[in-house]
Structure 1
Amino acid sequence: MTHSTKYRGFLGLIAATLVTPAVAQQEEPTFLEEIVVTSTKRQSTLQEIPVAVSVVQGADIRESQVLDVKDLQFLVPSLRVTQLQSSGNTNFVIRGFGNGANNAGIEPSVGVFIDGVYRSRSAAALNDLPNLERIEVLRGPQSTLFGKNASAGVISVVTAKPSLDDVNGSASLTVGEYSQVIVKGDVNGPLSDTVGFSLSGSYNQRDGYYDNLAGGDALGELDRFGVRGQLYFLPSDSLEVRVIADYSELDEACCGVANLVDGPTGGAVRALGGNLVSNAPFAYQGYYDFTPTNQFESSGISAQFDWDINDMVTLTSITSLRNLARLENGDVDFTSAPLLDPDVGNRTDVDIDTLTQEFRLAGATDTTSWMVGAYLFDEDVTQETGLIYGPAFRAYADLLTGGVPANPVTGDPGMGPLWDIENGLTGLFLAMLPSLGEPVPGGTFYGEGQGNIELTTMDNQAYSIFAQVDFDLGDRATLTLGANYTEDEKDVTLDQTATDVFSGLDLVEVGGLLIYGGAFQQALAGGADLATANAIATATSQALAPIPCSATNPPPACNPTLALQPLQFQRPNINFPNSVESGHTDDEDLTWTVRLAYDWTDEVNVYVSAGTGFKASSWNLSRDSRPFARDLPALGDAGLLVPNIIAGGRYATPEEATVYEIGLKGSWDTVALNLALFDQEIKGFQSNIFTGTGFSFANAGKQSTSGAEIDIRWMPTEVFEGTLAATILDPTYDSFTGAVGPSGPVDLSGQTPAGIHELSLTAAGRYSFTMGNAAGFARLEYIYEDEVQVVDNVLKEFASREVSTINASLGLAWENGFEAMLWGRNLNNDEYLLSAFPSVAQAGSLSGYPNPPRTYGLTIRKYFD
């Protein structure tokens, strides 16, 4: 289907909905309730606020079995949330823009706020939150009010305040498939006439759905616990204080990875006694020689003060202290061959301490309403990562270099050698002539326990000042002007300990030595004198050593050792700061918003807006952090180069977003309609793509998206409510040279970015009924996303995604406070890939993350007061 066809169908749908209100106006009853919005730091209603925002109410959250923020994507089509190789590795995307996963140095482009407090990493937002009032999703750049790291949008989670009237609470028990048990409870009420409290807790346990055929724990399990307490003070009519403390933890085996293409290296894995489930993305089975570790603890405390200084001015202060500790270790080859050390195999240990402070002054006159504020951010990140070889890695490398024969029993075709010698790596380096120095002892390369350990730190301070003013232009028009100045400084250190001997070899030099030795011997054998032999050998070495091997230039016509470079998985790094690399970035930006809103009628308002967004430089806190090519000459002059160093990037420069938008909002007795048409771009989009041996982190020159969003609520009777939300996107890489492609660097300029669906929609219907003295409901949801290539560096024929999922729930509520609900998610067992990547250290193989299978369960809840 072409873009134009999709847009015509979409606009036809809009036209049809605009006819419906005319009929609705003939009906007297009013069934739709107002939806409150506070994410713009002022209280308004969804239909009044001239901003593209989606709101999911608390009742919808409970009935849809939304357990944390990542489940929200099934109700908001512009939002995409993916959880990949660990429980805390979650990426938020709005309108096709977003990043922040896989690297502690990359802050999200989508800001997540819980009760006004910024969560700087996605793992800190994955709570089973109690007493949710609503979740608001602001679409498009929001930097004017939220400062840095809101260049793609904002997710604002709002929980209920404690009651000052009477004691009440609830308790619930959920049982579901895969032995799932969820227990939740909360209580809140007054401690006095002016002080209220609330206390809540949750426990969520579920067995894994992804079987480990090697005998370990199943993956995809849940094991989470959280507790949250609030104190609410109302000492006077002009002062309100809210203090919140929370703690949550998880300890899970996550996440299942499927083999999409079993390449030639599969033979080497099996030759070592390992195994993998071949070419079966939705078998939900795999082989792992150890169970992945996913542990994190998140805790924090915040205090919000709202003081009405007088009838016209209010002062708000929000202070927070948070800590996030995360420990992960995974079997990243995703086979049962013991290629990695099970204790430190691919370990990441992160500790993040965050302090935030926001001050706001807000007021109003007869013709204006205004807000000014300041925001402070101070964060310290400490991270230790390691990749350590296990007992079978050397044998695996020998098999790859020596070749794997075909297996007539299994039908495995085997693989040819990367280096045409009999004994793999051992034979290669024992072939070095004694005249060139001592041979490399057997067992030197890829020994058990070899690898790299990196210790990185990042100290981040940022501040912003902002202001926004709404001017009333008569009775129906409002002009909004806003601006934000942000400054962000980061200081980063890297200290690497490298023990991977083979990755430290300069194969250009090594190959030259081998060629030199061969030419030297041949010259002497031919009767040349020593000076002539040296000249021939030197010329041969210089001519052949730098030439890369290829299909048209195979060994020995080139330096044959260069064919082994793909096996240099962990090249040494240069520690910094040093005399050339300061490890410091200092970014500043002025973002702005201009918006004109007009109340067309009492039921319809329209708006047009333009704005910008900003995200500061992000640092690559991983083993893939490399010096910029521009710094290599100076590093060489300073004597800081290490053997076999390669260029890369230490950080990505800032993202700068711009959006132009027009919108319409209408509200009638039984119909509410929200429509937005937009054109949005991000210059310097921070792209982070896995290549099979590491992550490529760089700026895309420019990525743009134009699109349309529609959200309809229809309640023709008191017993039925229908909703439809749809998003159409037309994304493009306007410029992106040097991007990671399936076979190396490519120019993606003018191409469609992978992973962004052109059409996404969510439709839901809810029917209310009575059964005896119980009030009941039946809810049905349908989620659709058209087919898309999952990632840029894996071809669509191997990894595409199309979503067509059905969720449902059926509930009863009795007058005595008891409720029971049957629920099911992915009832039609829809199968699609969340992501895909070149398999780790397995050239020619591809892997991917399958979506969770069908789940269902029963929830029983008791309310008391």
Structure 2
Amino acid sequence: MNHWRKAFAPASACLLSAAVTTATAATLEEVVVTAQKREQSMQDVPVQVSTVGGDTIDKMSMVDASDIALLAPTLNFDSADEARLFNFSIRGIGTRSFSIGVEPSVSTVVDGVVLTRIGNAFDTLGDIEQVEVLAGPQGTLFGKNSSAGVVSIRTKKPNMTEFEGRFKATMAENNESGYELSLTGPLSDELAYRLFVFDRQAEGVAKNLFDGTDENGIDAQGLRGKVLWEPSDKLSMLFTGDYSEKDSNCCAMAPHATDGGQGSANARFNLETGDYDPVNGYAVTTPEWLGVSADQFGSDIKTDVTQLNEQRNWGLSVEANYEFDNEFTLTSITAYREWDSYTSRDRDSSYAQLSGLNPQEVAWMMGTTAFGETASAAEIAAARAQLGEISYNSLGFMTNADGTLGTNNSLEFNETFSQELRITSPMGEHFDYIAGLYYGKQLVERDLTIAGKWNRNGGGIADNPITNIDRLTGAVTCADASCYKYGDTITSVETENISVYGHLNYHVTEEFTLFGGARYIDENSTWKMRNAVGPYGNHFSFLRLIESVPYLDELADAADLGDADALSRLTAITGDATTADYRSQTRVQQSGAALDAVNGYGSQGGQGALEFDYDYSDTAVIYKIGGQYDISPDMMLYASYGTGYKSPAVNADIFIFDEIGDIQDAPTQPEESEGFEIGLKGSFDAWRFDLTYYDTDIEGLHTDGSATGGGARAVGRLVAGDVNTSGIEGNFTWAATDALTVNGGFSSGKAVIDDPDVTVGGESADGTLVLLAPELKYNLSLDYAFDIGNYPAGLFWTYTYTSKTYYGFGENQPRDPFALSSLVFDVSSPDDTWTLSMFVKNLFDEDYNSSLRSVSSTQGGGAMHTVARDHDRYMGASFTVRF
């Protein structure tokens, strides 16, 4: 690794020096952005914007959202053990949560349409014009869920004047291949089209030592079509449709070596015998138990469950623009989208057969055959039939191809409809403005089935029901049928949002402008929960189904009539001294031990363990004010103060883990931000730069996490408290010569908990860094063009440094600083009809982790890290034909 660095650094310095001394400086092209929902020069916009052009994305063969973060210093990306949980953060602020009831703090927008999740944003895109990263609260123009910023992606439009065709084939190590076809041109004087088709495949880079397979590979295909109709110089209508699908064995995580190595004391087993040993044993996710390299950056895993992630994404949109005679423009954007993501994964990330239940274990759990006896085919069929009757999801949904049931079978479905209508005034007068109406309706539903073996003691369970795990095969031996847990859930959050917004610029003089904007938000949501559990409770807690809900109804009726004994008995079950909360919940869970003590009832599986419809709503007004001053024709100074808003959150799909009473804390407060920034922008013939100071307070940040980097999942713990993020950031572009362009950017600041009430392990976390918030991040790129005879050629080099970050609150679970670099060499034909490109990613073979998460102690404890595509240096090449 050092060998590469030492060899390359002097070479790049010589290259830069030679280029600067042998050629004259060039002139930069203007960068046009839509940060204020109209096309403007980036240097005229009083917003901190980082851009990544489509040519750069194509040159670097970027197909993953994490790649954009390499070239935008304020943007960071966090992968996860499910693609639906991938997350952007800006200035250290983002949403890291498991729940469908928690929306992102960074809004991802494609061609003016908001995506509900970013997990497949770049595997379903391509043919990109530009990506804009807008830092800080952007809610006045972009709405809720942009309290930390916006990632805005623009794809290319149809060509109205001439035909263009382009085909690109890419090959890389690990059997990676990609094919892209883009066609565009006029159909008539009024019509033009654009078609983009892609196919991408790659083997995984994580090696499964249990069965020899490669994990984290992908198989993705998709297309996008556009038709542009311009019947007159006043009216244009753009029709867009897209469809994509991505199948992958994502997202396997490798064991992460930590001090001590043994993992959770609640889940240890003897390395020699596999017997339960809470004192000297090891957790099943530690490198010692798995027999893999004890490494913080390893790529070997050992799991017994095939990782599955199947995504489907499609949408339709129509954007219409009509320009009136007075040059006012009326814009309408109508969009409908669906996205679903099905996963089945190994929850314990080990080869111990803890995740899911095989047919024999289902028979024991359902009682169709005595524990320890071999079940017949008829007894297994009867058990499955009984399980189907007490479940919400179908047996087909929850059963894998190998016959196991409930290996985290999860389907998240997103359906959105949006309508935006806005009026844009012409520029050049004393006043110009944008005003609009927005309507959005979103349904997010998650169907989830989790079954498996209980692997814990403590918390009211004196002995671990698991007595042995076979060291060779991973087979689990249980003491009795109570070892087998089962939870089945269908939950959804449906949200309707209506907003009115406006933004006004008042040009006091030619040099000085005052601006301001506001947005009124009215939102209504319905959270529906349908939860069933097995005869011995669900998979992750001590909760068991109350056998007779009508019995509780009778107690509540008696308590309302003043029966003190009935109220006492109800309180012992529900944990509340009134009947009001029980009435609002309809169905409740509580530990079997508590029920037995109150009424002698044992546990019995079935529907209704938790069942309710819960309505909540909120309104908000957010605003932004500021001013900008043109110091000279080439330099502008601006300052602004603004607020942001994100909807209240509910712990919508992790309720099988939580004890009764959490619904009383739902929803959380909204996530609200306020802050100011001061910026300086300059643009000269060969230079362009921006420099910004910012200071933002976030009240009630929505996230999850704990001191170990795991997920505390109760809704009250989704709020990490108040946070402050402040610092300095900037970007520059220098056309050093006609041949050499230098780009760079940096972000230096702190995103810290600013709340004395937030504690970790009994200690105050006030002043500690927020999760995954680097104090320093910077990037540098060199783009050098030269000729090889008559053949134009080029070198493109990027380097990105990220300082130390933490995966756990209280600055626990650190990720060391790391730097990633890429190099691209390309050569084209003299007539530019073809280009051959060769690239190296992670040029210096840097060790780093793109994500770190803790496995639940019920499954064996321990930390796991994601094995990214560029975990090791790899090479590839592409060939592009233009026609």
Q: TM-score range by the shorter chain?
A: 0.7 to 0.9
| Among candidates 623, 629, 640, match of residue 598 of structure 1 | 629
Distance 1:244 1:403 in 2: 55
Distance 1:809 1:604 in 2: 34
Distance 2:627 2:692 in 1: 14
Max Rg structure: 1
Distance 2:417 2:469 in 1: 59
Matches within 5 A, 1:740-779: 741=760, 743=761, 747-779=764-796
Q: Does the alignment pair 1:491 with 2:510?
A: no
| Among candidates 458, 482, 489, match of residue 445 of structure 1 | 482
Q: Which amino acid aligns with 1:474?
A: T
Q: Which amino acid aligns with 2:489?
A: E
Distance 2:248 2:160 in 1: 38
Distance 1:844 1:164 in 2: 59
Cα deviation for residue 278 of structure 1 reads: 5.6
| Among candidates 513, 518, 531, match of residue 478 of structure 1 | 513
2:498 maps to what in 1? 463
| Among candidates 75, 80, 94, match of residue 79 of structure 1 | 75
- Which secondary structure does the structure 1 equivalent of 2:29 belong to? coil
Cα deviation for residue 322 of structure 1 reads: 0.4
1:377 maps to what in 2? 440
- Which secondary structure does the structure 1 equivalent of 2:840 belong to? strand
Cα deviation for residue 624 of structure 1 reads: 3.5
Distance 2:875 2:269 in 1: 39
Distance 1:386 1:746 in 2: 36
After superposition, the Cα gap between the structure-2 partners of 1:468 and 1:54, relative to the gap in structure 1 and judged at 3 Å, is: same
TM-score under structure 2 length normalisation: 0.77
Distance 1:269 1:588 in 2: 57
After superposition, the Cα gap between the structure-2 partners of 1:44 and 1:571, relative to the gap in structure 1 and judged at 3 Å, is: farther
- Which secondary structure does the structure 2 equivalent of 1:361 belong to? strand
After superposition, the Cα gap between the structure-2 partners of 1:830 and 1:270, relative to the gap in structure 1 and judged at 3 Å, is: farther
Q: Which amino acid aligns with 1:193?
A: D
| Among candidates 221, 225, 230, match of residue 229 of structure 1 | 225
Distance 1:778 1:299 in 2: 37
1:790 maps to what in 2? 807
Distance 2:354 2:468 in 1: 20
Cα deviation for residue 389 of structure 1 reads: 1.0
Cα deviation for residue 650 of structure 1 reads: 4.0
Cα deviation for residue 830 of structure 1 reads: 1.2
2:687 maps to what in 1? 671
Matches within 5 A, 1:183-222: 183-215=179-211, 217-222=213-218
After superposition, the Cα gap between the structure-2 partners of 1:230 and 1:825, relative to the gap in structure 1 and judged at 3 Å, is: same
Cα deviation for residue 282 of structure 1 reads: 2.2
- Which structure is higher in RCO with an 8 Å CA cutoff and minimum separation 6? 2
1:106 maps to what in 2? 102
- Which secondary structure does the structure 2 equivalent of 1:830 belong to? coil
Q: Runs of 5+ in structure 1 lacking a partner?
A: 1-23, 411-423, 427-442, 510-541, 543-560, 563-567, 633-645
CA contact (8 A) 2:164 2:882 kept: yes
Distance 1:824 1:399 in 2: 55
Distance 1:270 1:585 in 2: 54
1:695 maps to what in 2? 713
After superposition, the Cα gap between the structure-2 partners of 1:402 and 1:296, relative to the gap in structure 1 and judged at 3 Å, is: closer
1:831 maps to what in 2? 847
Q: Does the alignment pair 1:619 with 2:637?
A: no
| Among candidates 409, 429, 441, match of residue 347 of structure 1 | 409
Matches within 5 A, 1:76-475: 76-99=72-95, 101-123=97-119, 125-215=121-211, 217-260=213-256, 261-263=261-263, 265=267, 267=269, 271=273, 276=290, 277=292, 279-341=294-356, 342-364=404-426, 366-389=429-452, 401=464, 426=479, 443-447=480-484, 450-475=485-510
Matches within 5 A, 1:542-557: none
CA contact (8 A) 1:268 1:404 kept: no
| Among candidates 595, 609, 616, match of residue 640 of structure 2 | 609
Q: Which amino acid aligns with 2:854?
A: P
Cα deviation for residue 587 of structure 1 reads: 1.1
After superposition, the Cα gap between the structure-2 partners of 1:396 and 1:850, relative to the gap in structure 1 and judged at 3 Å, is: farther
TM-score under structure 1 length normalisation: 0.79
Matches within 5 A, 1:10-49: 30-49=26-45
Cα deviation for residue 101 of structure 1 reads: 4.8
Cα deviation for residue 699 of structure 1 reads: 1.6
Q: Which amino acid aligns with 1:190?
A: P
Cα deviation for residue 216 of structure 1 reads: 5.5
After superposition, the Cα gap between the structure-2 partners of 1:303 and 1:763, relative to the gap in structure 1 and judged at 3 Å, is: same
Distance 2:811 2:720 in 1: 18
After superposition, the Cα gap between the structure-2 partners of 1:400 and 1:669, relative to the gap in structure 1 and judged at 3 Å, is: farther
CA contact (8 A) 2:679 2:690 kept: yes
Distance 2:61 2:237 in 1: 31
CA contact (8 A) 1:836 1:846 kept: yes
Cα deviation for residue 69 of structure 1 reads: 2.9
After superposition, the Cα gap between the structure-2 partners of 1:353 and 1:647, relative to the gap in structure 1 and judged at 3 Å, is: closer
After superposition, the Cα gap between the structure-2 partners of 1:406 and 1:59, relative to the gap in structure 1 and judged at 3 Å, is: closer
2:698 maps to what in 1? 682
RMSD: 3.4
| Among candidates 723, 731, 735, match of residue 743 of structure 2 | 723
1:641 maps to what in 2? none
Distance 2:345 2:411 in 1: 12
Cα deviation for residue 269 of structure 1 reads: 8.0
CA contact (8 A) 2:521 2:620 kept: yes
Does 257-266 or 182-191 show the bigger shift?
A: 257-266
CA contact (8 A) 1:173 1:182 kept: yes
Cα deviation for residue 125 of structure 1 reads: 2.2
CA contact (8 A) 1:145 1:484 kept: yes
CA contact (8 A) 1:790 1:834 kept: no
- Which secondary structure does the structure 1 equivalent of 2:140 belong to? helix
CA contact (8 A) 1:272 1:396 kept: no
Q: Which amino acid aligns with 2:635?
A: V
CA contact (8 A) 2:455 2:465 kept: no
- Which secondary structure does the structure 1 equivalent of 2:93 belong to? coil
The percentage of counterpart residues that share the same residue type is 25
2:671 maps to what in 1? 655
CA contact (8 A) 2:489 2:529 kept: yes
Q: Does the alignment pair 1:586 with 2:617?
A: yes
After superposition, the Cα gap between the structure-2 partners of 1:657 and 1:508, relative to the gap in structure 1 and judged at 3 Å, is: closer
Q: Which amino acid aligns with 1:47?
A: Q
Count the aligned residue pairs. Answer: 728
Q: Which amino acid aligns with 1:614?
A: Y
After superposition, the Cα gap between the structure-2 partners of 1:728 and 1:110, relative to the gap in structure 1 and judged at 3 Å, is: same
